[in-house]
Amino acid sequence: MIELILATANKHKAHEFSSLLDPTIFSVQVASENIDVEETGFTYSENAFIKAQAYYNKFKTPVLADDSGLNVDALPDELGIYSARFGGASLPQSEKNKLLLEKLKGISNRNAHFSCVLCFYLSPSEIFFFEGKVDGTIAFAESGTGGFGYDPLFHPTNFDDPKLSLAMIEDWKMKHSHRAVACQKATSFFKKRNCHS
């Protein structure tokens, strides 16, 4: 059993990761307190590492950190690792969604993908990364009340009905989202690693 703390005190995230990771291999708990970590990296991997290392140095225990975001082809430098800060860190998510729709007005290329990188920082000499992504398009209006973030605007390419957003297909999202795919890769890797240890 690999016991991990999350690089966050967000209980919602801990519940989500507990659902996505194999409970026979991983035990995931939130950190007892939040650390204010400045994400100065230029990639998802760098930011996930920065967070994981900071929490490991503080708590001296294995850490799971993630960094994720929405990548929009037509706005290559505006979202991505800056997705949470798009339009300003204090801007409510509903306003971020409106801003994204506004910026895409008149643009035909609405291709996008969600990315997630997980960093398992078990010790300074045992650090592992896993990446997941899901392709899709940005809709012309929000739909659905489930999910969070940009989910109401994102229509995944490989779902049967292209008119449904991630906010409308939460069961599918739990198996096929960028975070789910990254967790599946991590589970597969550590399962094999445990067999050979």
Structure tokens that stand for 69 in this block: 């975001």
67: annotated active-site residue: yes
With vertex at residue 27, the alpha carbon angle to CA 24 and CA 33, rounded to the nearest 5 degrees, is: 175
User: What are the residue ranges of helices labelled H in the chain?
Assistant: 11-20, 44-59, 93-103, 170-176, 178-196
CA distance linking residue 116 with residue 182, whole number of Å: 7
Of 67, 77, 151, 160, the catalytic one is 67
CA distance linking residue 183 with residue 128, whole number of Å: 12
**Enzyme catalytic residues:** 67
